[in-house]
């Protein structure tokens, strides 16, 4: 079966500053129908930039995007700009980070969802409101009819996140992009949102790409994980492959730096140094300056993904 998402050799460079910023560098990946892919990595590794490229949300005047992106049979890069609104929300939809900022504060939640439905569906305003109410019930918002007439500032962070999920699902998309959907939520609400996403994915057969820096989130929801660093994918595989047999030094560092790995009173393991400046990437492997295994070759040659096991790949010269 053909993957529902195919990305080949994606490059995203932002201009307009002193130096071009190479945010995504030669990313290739696939997402199978009905599966969940998690993009994992530190802030600034290119996860959200990759996600937004699928919807062509980068400003044309200050960014250059090259490569091939196919979404549900649509060649995104070849489409005319005027054709994209028909795909956004209907074929592929997105849950943005920080729902309190993504939702419009001057319109009620119901108005925002109803407007989206009317934009894509040939229904009456009454039918659109009924659909919005059903969506609020599906995402388990209490007192859904009353909440439809509430403004974002009248809702808690967790309820706004549920409303954002309802908005993303308003027109029955086949693909859902989730950019850090549990950011700024407390642990209990995070778990509730993750369970809700997993339940909706199973019930609706959604294909999901979720961005996070939290390994616990990845383990909870993912079928496959792609680890990103400095705009590149450095390791990819199933959840079991990446978690039980991490091969790239960066992946090992992420896993060993978790709080639950340290005992009481023990010092936390960390990855030394800082991520590279994407406007001045070093020659060779971008992780080499922070890598305990790096040698002279690592500082001269950029590694490519090589197969570790069936479906498991890592980009490291030491493998």
Residue 277: the pLDDT is 92
Residue 105 CB: number of other CB atoms within 10 A? 9
DSSP secondary structure string, 88-143?
BTTTEEEE-S-HHHHS-TTS-HHHHHHHHHHHHS---HHHHHHHHHHHHHHTT-SS
Range with lowest mean pLDDT among 113-122, 153-162, 163-172, 182-191: 182-191
- Name the pLDDT band for 1 (thresholds 50, 70, 90): low
Is pLDDT at 21 greater than 70 in this prediction?
A: yes
Residue 188: the pLDDT is 82
Residue 98: the pLDDT is 81
Range with lowest mean pLDDT among 47-51, 165-169, 211-215, 223-227: 211-215
pLDDT above 90 covers what percent of the chain? 78
pLDDT above 70 covers what percent of the chain? 97
Sequence-separated contacts (24+) of 108-115 with Cβ below 8 Å:
108/148, 108/149, 108/150, 108/151, 109/147, 109/148, 109/149, 109/150, 109/151, 109/152, 109/155, 109/163, 109/167, 110/147, 110/148, 110/149, 112/167, 113/148, 113/163, 113/166, 113/167, 113/170
Using one digit for the tens of pLDDT, what is the confidence trace for 279-312?
999 899 999 999 999 999 999 999 999 999 999 9
Burial 63-86 (b: 16+ CB within 10 A, else e): bebebebbbbebebeeeeeeeeee
Residue 299: the pLDDT is 93
Residue 32 CB: number of other CB atoms within 10 A? 15
Q: Is 198 exposed, middle or buried (0-12, 13-18, 19+ CB in 10 A)?
A: middle
Using one digit for the tens of pLDDT, what is the confidence trace for 69-109?
999 999 999 999 999 999 999 999 999 888 888 899 999 99
Quick check: pTM over 0.75?
Answer: yes
Determine the Cα–Cα distance for residues 103 and 164; give it in Å rounded to an integer: 7
Domains in the chain (CATH in brackets) are 5-81+224-314 (3.40.50.300)
Q: Which strands, in side-by-side order, build the sheet including 21-31? A: 21-31, 5-14, 63-71, 74-75
DSSP secondary structure string, 251-294?
HHHHHHT-GGGSPTTPPPP---S-PPPTTSPPSS-TTGGG-TT-
CA distances from 66 to 77, 197, 210, 283 (A): 8, 31, 22, 21
Residue 263: the pLDDT is 63
- Average pLDDT over the chain reads 92
For helices 109-120 and 125-138, angle between their N-to-C axes, nearest 10 degrees: 120
Residue 284: the pLDDT is 94
Is pLDDT at 276 greater than 70 in this prediction?
A: yes
Q: Beta strand 74-75 with 175-179: parallel, antiparallel or unpaired?
A: unpaired
């Amino acid at each position: 079966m053909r993957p529902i998402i195919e990305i080949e050799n994606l490059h995203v460079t932002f201009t307009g500053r002193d130096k071009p910023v190479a945010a995504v560098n030669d990313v290739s990946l696939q997402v199978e129908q009905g599966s969940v892919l998690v993009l994992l990595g530190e802030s600034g590794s290119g996860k959200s930039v990759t996600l937004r490229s699928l919807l062509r949300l980068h400003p044309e005047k200050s960014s250059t995007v090259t490569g091939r992106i196919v979404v549900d049979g649509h060649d995104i890069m070849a489409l005319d700009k005027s054709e994209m609104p028909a795909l956004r929300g209907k074929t592929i939809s997105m849950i943005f980070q920080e729902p309190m900022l993504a939702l419009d504060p001057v319109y009620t939640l119901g108005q925002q969802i109803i407007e989206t439905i009317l934009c894509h569906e040939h229904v009456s305003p009454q039918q659109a409101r009924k659909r919005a109410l059903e969506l609020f019930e599906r995402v388990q918002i209490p007192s859904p009819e009353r909440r439809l007439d509430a403004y974002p500032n009248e809702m808690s962070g967790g309820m706004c996140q549920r409303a954002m999920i309802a908005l993303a699902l308003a027109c029955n998309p086949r693909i859902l992009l989730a950019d850090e959907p549990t950011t700024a939520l407390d642990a209990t609400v995070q778990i509730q949102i993750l369970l809700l996403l997993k339940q909706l994915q199973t019930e609706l057969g959604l294909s999901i790409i979720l961005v996070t820096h939290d390994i616990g989130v990845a383990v909870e929801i993912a079928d496959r994980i792609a680890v990103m660093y400095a705009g590149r994918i450095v390791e990819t595989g199933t959840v079991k492959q990446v978690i039980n047999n991490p091969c790239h030094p960066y992946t090992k560092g992420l896993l060993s730096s978790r709080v639950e790995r340290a005992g009481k009173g023990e010092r936390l393991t960390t990855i030394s140094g800082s991520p590279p400046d994407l406007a001045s990437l070093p020659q060779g492997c971008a992780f080499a300056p922070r890598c305990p295994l790096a040698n002279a070759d690592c500082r001269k040659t950029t590694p490519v993904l090589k197969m570790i096991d069936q479906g498991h790949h890592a980009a490291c010269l030491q493998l």
